[in-house]
Amino acid sequence: MIKRSFIGFTKPLIAYDALESAPPEPKQIQTPKKITLFIDTPYNYKDSLLLNIGDNVKTGQRLSYSEDNDAYVIASATGTISSITSILGDYGKSYTAVTIDTNETEEMDDHFTALRKDPTFDTAKNYLDSMPGKPSFNRFIDSENSIDTIIICGMDADLYIKTNQYILKAELEAIANGIRILKDITQVDHVIIAVPESLMQDAILLGTEVRTVNTEYPAALPHLMVKSFTGQAVPVGKDFGDIGICFFTAEAVASIGKTFANGSIPVTKTFTFIDKNEIKTLVSAKIGTTVSEILDAFDITLDEKDRIIFGGPMTGSAIYSADYPILPDTDAIIVQARDKLDYISDYPCINCGDCVRSCPANIPVNMLVRLLEAGQYEEASDQYDLYSCIECGLCSYVCVSKIPVFHYIKLAKYELDLTRTAEATNA
């Protein structure tokens, strides 16, 4: 954990971790006895599923949810489906969890081999959505405006994570191939790769436009990258799709490149594992491996009230069980010992202004939080720029009163969304 520095009159200066010049190979985790995959749709036992308990699946096989729901996941191991259940994620989002008892011998599904010859957008959308890095092909369909720029993130948005920097260094060829295919299937010519200064030399070899990102948090957050590359901020109320921008992680692009080069869909996820002593290790494991398997591999005992975080220390999300699996977009796992946790408090804002000083979006956080504490979300969004928030978490990080400011902001956005949806349906 990075603490406040002695000199405190500036905003906090927290640097991203730079990758070593010769990064060690990621630690390999064996295929566990059980893997759990999430299909991005709520589970309903009344649906006529295309999956059944007892079905045999092969590595790389596409597991569709049902005939009339095109949600799917790619099996990351060979084995037998042992359970299908409903799982609740953040903000009430619901998934279908498919657990597979794995076999020792791995059989590869060869369905994709025929499709690799002629990469099309539909193939990508129908097979690659749950690849490592979680490429977002739906952005190209959902958005009303057409996408004209793709930004590839060669570094992770949050602190301590080196996953995408490593991928950029280690899988340059796959990324180059991926960029070519991506340009081809999406018809987008303008591809920018965003990297820290230290990886500039590698990124140049990709032959596409390279932009450097400042190495101080939160410069690698998507909103700030867009501001720094285009000179214009995303207008409040619009998303990246509305201004024609789509983001891919370096890992997603590398996965696309590897898929079409090899004819098999990658199922191994690389991520940064940060243990209780804040030692960072790159790990490579099958998607669906549970966190407890990873902890075992590192000989870490989990105690009651410890905290496990998916993602970075500023923007990640805490999970409630060590049986939670690695997901396609899990770029980091942090384990925090309970005696090192910082707790929030119910103290009021003392108006010290540290949050205002650190806010990259110029939000008057001191006023905003007063309204949010009172539950006045509409006023907060009208008067104090609630929707300008780019969710970097610095306000909570620096708060002298330990107010969970970021939590309040997310809650307000969530509540406002609920009311607006309700108003729209009842109108």
Q: Which residue, 170 or 395, has its beta carbon nearer to another protein?
A: 395
What pairing do the DSSP bridges indicate for beta strands 149-153 and 94-102? unpaired
Tokens standing for residue 6: 């002695």
Q: How far is the CB of 358 from another protein (least distance, A)?
A: 9
Q: Kindly state the smallest distance separating residue 237's Cβ from another protein, in Å.
A: 8
Minimum gap (Å) between residue 376 Cβ and another protein: 16
- Residue 159 Cβ, how far from another protein at the closest point, in Å? 8
DSSP secondary structure letter of residue 134: -
- DSSP state letters, 299-354: T-PPPTT-EEEES-TTT-EEES-TTPBPPTT--EEEEE-GGGPPPP--PPP----H
Q: Which is nearer to another protein, 119 or 353 (CB)?
A: 353
Please give the Cα distance from 392 to 360 (Å, whole number). 8
By beta-carbon proximity to another protein, the closer residue of 9 and 117 is 9
Least distance to another protein, CB of residue 259, Å:
29
Yes or no: say if 116 and 87 are a contact pair by the CB < 8 Å rule: no
Strands annotated E in 145-214? 149-153, 190-196, 209-213
Please state, as a whole number, how many other Cβ atoms lie within 10 Å of the Cβ of residue 119: 17
Helical (H) or strand (E) element with 423? helix 405-426
Instruction: Please report, for residues 82, 99, 292, the alpha-carbon distance to residue 34 in angstroms, rounded to integers and kept in the order given.
Output: 9, 7, 11
Query: Which CB sits closer to another protein, 320 or 427?
Result: 320
User: Between residues 170 and 349, which has the closer beta carbon with respect to another protein?
Assistant: 349
Shortest Å, Cβ 293 to another protein: 13
Q: In what helix (H) or strand (E) does residue 420 lie, and over which residues does it extend?
A: helix 405-426
Q: Return the closest-CA partner of residue 222 out of 213, 127, 277, 47.
A: 213
Rounded least distance, CB 5 to another protein, Å:
9
State in angstroms the smallest separation of the CB of 366 from another protein. 6
Residue among 79 and 311 whose Cβ is closer to another protein = 311
Render 4-28 in DSSP notation, one character per residue: PPS--SS----BPPPPPSSPPPPEE
Going by C-beta distance under 8 Å and a sequence separation of 6 or more, which residues neighbour residue 9?
A: none
Query: CA nearest 364: which of 372, 352, 356?
Result: 356
Residue closer to another protein, measured from CB, 207 or 348: 348
> At its nearest, how many Å lie between another protein and the CB of residue 402?
6
Q: Closest distance between another protein and the C-beta of residue 172, in Å?
A: 32
| Phi, psi (deg, nearest 5) at residue 330 | -80, 95
Would you say 284 and 26 are in contact if contact means Cβ atoms under 8 Å apart?
yes
How many H helices and E strands in the chain? 13, 16
Vertex 47: Cα angle to 45 and 53 (nearest 5):
60
Please identify, using beta-carbon distances, which residue of 402 and 420 lies nearer to another protein.
402
Nearer Cβ to another protein (178/218) = 218
Cβ nearer to another protein, comparing 56 with 85:
85
